[in-house]
Amino acid sequence: MNVGLIGFGRTGKSVASVLLESSDTRLEWVIRGSANPEQKTAAECLGIVSNNPARIFGRHDLSMTQLLDRHPVDVIIDFSCCDGLELYAEEAARRGIAIISAISQYPEERIAQLQALGAHTRILWSPNITLGINFLILAAKILKQIAPDADIEIIEEHFANKPETSGTAKVIAESLDKPCDEIKSIRAGGIVGRHEILFGFPNQTVRLSHESIAREAFGNGVLFAAQNLLQKDHGFYSMQDLLEPYFFERSVAG
Amino acid sequence: MNVGLIGFGRTGKSVASVLLESSDTRLEWVIRGSANPEQKTAAECLGIVSNNPARIFGRHDLSMTQLLDRHPVDVIIDFSCCDGLELYAEEAARRGIAIISAISQYPEERIAQLQALGAHTRILWSPNITLGINFLILAAKILKQIAPDADIEIIEEHFANKPETSGTAKVIAESLDKPCDEIKSIRAGGIVGRHEILFGFPNQTVRLSHESIAREAFGNGVLFAAQNLLQKDHGFYSMQDLLEPYFFERSVAG
Amino acid sequence: MNVGLIGFGRTGKSVASVLLESSDTRLEWVIRGSANPEQKTAAECLGIVSNNPARIFGRHDLSMTQLLDRHPVDVIIDFSCCDGLELYAEEAARRGIAIISAISQYPEERIAQLQALGAHTRILWSPNITLGINFLILAAKILKQIAPDADIEIIEEHFANKPETSGTAKVIAESLDKPCDEIKSIRAGGIVGRHEILFGFPNQTVRLSHESIAREAFGNGVLFAAQNLLQKDHGFYSMQDLLEPYFFERSVAG
Amino acid sequence: MNVGLIGFGRTGKSVASVLLESSDTRLEWVIRGSANPEQKTAAECLGIVSNNPARIFGRHDLSMTQLLDRHPVDVIIDFSCCDGLELYAEEAARRGIAIISAISQYPEERIAQLQALGAHTRILWSPNITLGINFLILAAKILKQIAPDADIEIIEEHFANKPETSGTAKVIAESLDKPCDEIKSIRAGGIVGRHEILFGFPNQTVRLSHESIAREAFGNGVLFAAQNLLQKDHGFYSMQDLLEPYFFERSVAG
C-alpha cells in the first residue's frame, strides 16, 4: 500500500516514523507547509535508516496533479489543518484515492464536502485516530445499553498548560449523551494524556481507561484505518465504523 | 416474575435482599439447608420491610413437587452448592421453569446434566453472575480481535487471606487464551475484589477494570439474567450469551 | 483501657463493633439519643458474641455524673453531633478523662471550648479519624515542601447521591493551600469513598490515594488515636499531631 | 553551580538537556566514551539553543587533571557505568568536588571506595535518582511504622521486553523488608515505568504510586540532589538522606 502524508508537524512526524518502519506500507511522499530546498527526505529528517527515503515537498512546490502523476498513492493521510482539504481532496476523489483525515475539527461545510466526496472514494475522518480511544467509546456505548441506569463519569488528565477540556473527552461525552461541562479535567505536570470512563453501579464499578504514551499511537491507528478502509465500499466513515465489525462478529461467542 | 431461591448463605442472603427490593420480581420462597421451626420470613431475617414476606423452608421440610404445586415460580435461582441440582433440577425442567445457577464449579457430569435439561427449559449457568465482569470479558475478547498483537496482563486484587488465584480471573484468562499461572494476584487487607485486564500497545495502554463493592452485585446480575433468559428459547446459556445481543445490535453505530 | 462511646448511629455502631472485638480496649457503655427500655447491650444489638456486653443508655436516662461514678472510663469517644459536647465535655475534663471527638464540623465556639478544656485533659478532634487519610495529608504536605513547583490535583469519588464536595477532600485542600472549588468530585453508583492527591511533575507523576472499604476504618482510627493520645500531655490535638512523631523519628533512615 | 557530566547515553543525554535548560546550573562539559573529532557541543547534539554550548570530550581525549584545571566544576555527575569511577573519583575527591553517581549497581569494592572518599568530599549514590521514587520509599517506610500490621504489596509495570524485576522495585522491597520474589511485575507494550506500593488494611487501602513519563525525570532529580548535597558536610549519602530533613522539619505541623 502506497501512502502520501499531508502535514509534517509534531504529530505528522510521529506518524511518518511509524509508516516508514511498517512493512505493510510505503510512505511515498510528504507534503509540508514550507519548501524543501535541501531536498531532505523524511527518513533523514527523522533520523531513520530506511531504503524508502520518502521525499518531502513544500505545499507550493508542485501541483497535486503533477505529484500524483509522478508518485501515485493508494491513500492520502492528512495531519495538516482544516484547510488542507483544498490541496488534495477533489483530485484524490477523482482518482479514487482513499482519504484518511485526522484533523480535529472541521467547519460544517468541510464535513459536507467530505460526505459528498464519499460518493467517489473511501473517506475516513477521525479526530482521535487511535485504536484505544475508539475501542473505549464503542465499548462504553454498549455498556450503557446493557445498563442504562448506571452513573457515568468521564475523567481526563493532561499536562498542566493544556488550556481546555480535551476534544477526545468531548467526543466521548457526546457518544454517551453526557453534557460536556460535566467532564472532570485534571491538569498536572507533563501527563501525556489519560481518559477514563467510569460506570458506577450500586455494588460494583467498571472503569474503561486509556493512557497515551507517545504520539506514535496515531501512526498505529492510521495503519489500522488504512488496512480496513481499503476493504470498504465508497463512503464516508468514522473510526468506529471500522471497528464495529469486530464487535459484531459472532466468533467472540463461547 | 415469580422466583424461588435455593441457598441462604452470605451471598444467598444478599441476593434475596435485592430480589425483595426489586419491583420486577416477587421472591416466592427460599430453601435453605436447616429447618425453619420459627417460620421466619426472608424479609424478617434480613430486616427488610416488605409486603412480600418470602417464606423460608428447610431443605427437608417438603418435597419439590409439593412446594412447586403450592408456590409456583417462573425461575429458580441456585446459590447453594454443586449438589443443589439434585433437589430441583429434574422437577423444574419437567415444569419448564427456568433455572439460573451461580454455582462456581460443577463436576463434568453436572454440566452434562444441565446441557441435557436445556432441551426442556431455559438454563443459565454463570460462576460470576455480575454484569460488570461478564461485560469486561466480552469487551476484552473483542479488543483482542482488533489488536491481536497487544500484550495482555490480568491483575486481580482480593483480601489478604483469599487462598488462591480468583476463579473469576481464571475465567478471564481462559477467555483470552492466557495461561492462568501468569495472572498477577495481589492480596492485601480487606479488598473486596478488583479485576483488571491491561492491554499494552507500543504507544498506548487500555485498562478494563472491575471493582466489587458488595455481594449485592450478584443480585443485580441475577435480575438482569432472569429478565433476559425468559426471552430466550430453551437451551443452556452463559451470562455472555445473554450479553452478546447488546454487542451485536447495530444501534450503537453513529 | 476503658472507653465510653457517645453516638450509636451507623458510624457509631461500626466503631462499637471494632471496640468490642479489640483486645486492647473495653467498651464500658454506649449513650444513644433514644431510651433503651429493653436494656439491650451493644453486643446484642450488633450480633457480636462478647463477654463484655457493653450497656446502652439513653441520653436522658441518667446524668453524666452518675454514669461516670458507676462506670468510670479512661476515654470518651464522640460520634454523635456537634451538641454532644454539652452532655459530657465539662464533666470529663474535670475528671481528667481523655476525649476523642470525630464530629465533622463544629462552630467556632465549640472549638474554643475544646481548646480551653485542653488545659485539663487530653483532647483529640479529627473530622476524618482514619489512619489512611491522615497519613496521606501529612505525606502530601511533605512532598509539597520537597517539590513546591509540582502541580497538585485533588480527586474524590463517592456514591451518586452524596450531595456536595467531601469534607475530607476539603481538609486535604486546605492542608495544601488549594482552593476547595478546584477539587474534582466524581459521583457514581455505590462508591464508598476514594481520595487521590496527584502531584504532577514535568516528567513524572506521584499519586497518593486512599480507598474506604467500610466505616469500620473509623474504629481502627479510634483505637490508634486512643493508644497514642493517652501518652500525650494535656492539650488539644489533631490526628496529624499524633502521626507526626512517626514522621520525625530518625529510625526510618538508612 | 558548575557541573560536569560523565556518560552521554540515552539517559545521560536527557540529563544534559535538563541541565542545559536549568538557570541554576551551568553544564561545563560532558565526557563520553567515543572521541569527538567534529567538536560538536552538547547543545548542538541535543538540538537545544543555549548560550552555554557545553563541550563534549571523548574519555581518552585528555586527562582528568587537565580537564579540571581548564574547566573546573563544583559537581561531577556520573551516568556512565560502574567503572566510570576510575576516571574521576580520586581526582574529584582530592579537589573536594562533589560527586553524584546514578549508576544502578556497584560491586562491593566500588561502594567501599565511595564510602572512603566521603571523608574528603560530598558523595551521593542513588540508583534511581528521581524525587518521586525516593519520596515514595520514605513515605512507605513511615506508614509501615505507623501501621506495622498492614499488608504490603509492591507492583511494577514496564514495557514488554524489560527482562527482569525492576531494580527500583527491588530497592523498594528491601526498604520495606519484603522478599523481592513477591514483587508483582507487569510487562506490556511500551509502558515507561510505574511503581505502586499498596498498603492493605481491614477497612481501607492506601496506594502510593509513581509513574515515569520520560527519562528527563532523572535530570530533575539530579538538580535537586546537587542543590541539597552542596549544603551537606563531607560524607557518603543516599537520595533518601537528602529527603529526610523535609520529613523531619516541624513546620508541616498544624
Partners of residue C190 in chain A, C-beta under 8 Å:
200-204
Answer for the pair B67, B90: CB distance below 8 angstroms, yes or no: no
pLDDT at D52: 82
Interface of B with D (CB under 8 A): 150-153, 155, 157, 159-160, 184-191, 198-205
* Structural domain count of chain D: 2
- Least CA distance to C212: which residue of chain B? B191
Residues B29 and B123 in one domain: yes
Do residue D191 and residue A213 have CB atoms under 8 angstroms apart?
yes
Do residue B220 and residue A207 have CB atoms under 8 angstroms apart?
no
Q: Could you list the beta-strand ranges (E) of chain B.
A: 2-6, 26-32, 55-58, 75-78, 98-101, 122-125, 151-158, 184-187, 194-200, 204-212, 235-237
Nearest CA to CA, how far is A79 from chain D (Å)? 24
Identity of the residue in B186, B202, B205 whose CB atom sits nearest the CB atom of D155: B186
If phi > 0 it is left, if psi is from -120 to 50 it is alpha, else beta; for residue D179 that is: beta
Quick count: other Cβ atoms within 10 Å of Cβ B162?
14
Please report which confidence band the pLDDT of residue C52 belongs to, taking 50, 70 and 90 as the band edges: confident
- Least CA distance to B192: which residue of chain A? A204
Residues A141 and A156 in one domain: yes
Interface of C with A (CB under 8 A): 150-153, 155, 157, 159-160, 184-191, 198-205
Nearest CA to CA, how far is B155 from chain C (Å)? 18
- ipTM, interface predicted TM-score of the complex: 0.89
pLDDT at A81: 92
Residue C99: its H or E element: strand C98-101
pLDDT greater than 80 at residue C248: no
Residue that wins the pLDDT comparison between C51 and A96: A96
- Please tell me the distance from the alpha carbon of residue C222 to that of residue C216, in angstroms, as a whole number: 10
Do residue C145 and residue D215 have CB atoms under 8 angstroms apart?
no
Do residue B203 and residue A211 have CB atoms under 8 angstroms apart?
no
* Residue A168: CATH number of its domain: 3.30.360.10
Is the residue at A253 inside a domain? no
**Contacts (Cβ under 8 Å, ≥6 apart) of B152:** B140, B144, B176, B178, B197, B198, B199, B200, D188
Identity of the residue in D152, D189, D198 whose CB atom sits nearest the CB atom of B151: D189
Nearest CA to CA, how far is A12 from chain B (Å)? 15
Do residue C214 and residue B189 have CB atoms under 8 angstroms apart?
no
> pLDDT digits over A172-185, tens only?
999 999 999 999 99
**CA nearest C207: which of B187, B196, D152, D133?**
D133
Residues C9 and C121 in one domain: yes
Do residue C207 and residue D208 have CB atoms under 8 angstroms apart?
yes
Is the residue at C27 inside a domain? yes
- Least CA distance to A175: which residue of chain B? B254
pLDDT above 70 covers a percentage of chain C that reads 98
Is the residue at A254 inside a domain? no
Cell numbers 480511544 label which residue? A133
Answer for the pair A127, A102: CB distance below 8 angstroms, yes or no: yes
* B97 residue type, one letter: I
pLDDT above 70 covers a percentage of chain B that reads 98
Do residue A190 and residue C198 have CB atoms under 8 angstroms apart?
no
Partners of residue D203 in chain C, C-beta under 8 Å:
212-217, 219-220
> pLDDT digits over C165-191, tens only?
999 999 999 999 999 999 999 999 999
Answer for the pair A229, A124: CB distance below 8 angstroms, yes or no: yes
**CA nearest C200: which of A38, B21, A161?**
A161
Is the residue at B116 inside a domain? yes
Do residue B201 and residue A210 have CB atoms under 8 angstroms apart?
no
Residues D61 and D156 in one domain: no
What's the mean pLDDT in B25-43?
A: 91
Do residue B200 and residue D160 have CB atoms under 8 angstroms apart?
yes
- ∠C47-C51-C56 over CA atoms, to 5°? 60
pLDDT at C254: 42
Do residue D188 and residue B202 have CB atoms under 8 angstroms apart?
no
For chain A, list residues with pLDDT below 50.
253-254
Is the residue at C254 inside a domain? no
Do residue B155 and residue D184 have CB atoms under 8 angstroms apart?
yes
Optimal mutation site among C13, C213, C218, interface B, most CBs of chain B within 10 A: C213
CA R_g for chain B: 19
**Contacts (Cβ under 8 Å, ≥6 apart) of A210:** A130, A132, A133, A136, A194, A195, A196, B204, B205, B206, B207
- Least CA distance to C203: which residue of chain A? A190
Nearest CA to CA, how far is D130 from chain A (Å)? 15
Do residue A206 and residue B132 have CB atoms under 8 angstroms apart?
yes
Residues B10 and B108 in one domain: yes
Do residue B188 and residue D152 have CB atoms under 8 angstroms apart?
yes
Nearest CA to CA, how far is A178 from chain C (Å)? 14
Is the residue at C253 inside a domain? no
**CA nearest A172: which of A142, A141, A144?**
A141
- Least CA distance to C190: which residue of chain A? A202
Residues B17 and B89 in one domain: yes
State which residues form the domain around B159.
131-211
* Residue A118: CATH number of its domain: 3.40.50.720
Residues C220 and C123 in one domain: yes
- Least CA distance to D212: which residue of chain A? A191
- Please tell me the distance from the alpha carbon of residue D117 to that of residue D138, in angstroms, as a whole number: 26
pLDDT at C53: 79
CA R_g for chain D: 19
Tens of pLDDT along chain D (254 residues) come to 999 999 999 899 999 999 999 988 999 999 999 888 888 899 988 888 888 879 999 999 889 999 999 999 999 999 999 999 999 999 999 999 999 999 988 999 999 999 999 999 999 999 889 999 999 999 999 999 999 999 999 999 999 999 899 999 999 999 999 999 999 999 999 999 999 999 999 999 999 999 999 889 999 999 999 999 999 999 999 999 999 888 876 555 44
Residues C123 and C137 in one domain: no
Is the residue at D253 inside a domain? no
Residues A121 and A139 in one domain: no
Partners of residue C190 in chain B, C-beta under 8 Å:
213-214
pLDDT greater than 90 at residue C251: no
Residues D123 and D234 in one domain: yes
Answer for the pair D232, D122: CB distance below 8 angstroms, yes or no: yes
pLDDT greater than 50 at residue C253: no
Helix (H, G, I), strand (E, B) or coil at D243: helix
Residues D77 and D117 in one domain: yes
Residues C119 and C141 in one domain: no
- Please tell me the distance from the alpha carbon of residue C104 to that of residue C116, in angstroms, as a whole number: 19
Mean pLDDT across chain C, nearest whole number?
93
Answer for the pair D45, D34: CB distance below 8 angstroms, yes or no: no
- Please tell me the distance from the alpha carbon of residue D101 to that of residue D172, in angstroms, as a whole number: 19
Do residue B220 and residue A202 have CB atoms under 8 angstroms apart?
yes
Helix (H, G, I), strand (E, B) or coil at C144: helix
Is the residue at A243 inside a domain? yes
pLDDT at C39: 86
Partners of residue A132 in chain B, C-beta under 8 Å:
199, 201, 204-206
Answer for the pair B202, D192: CB distance below 8 angstroms, yes or no: no
Partners of residue D201 in chain B, C-beta under 8 Å:
189-190
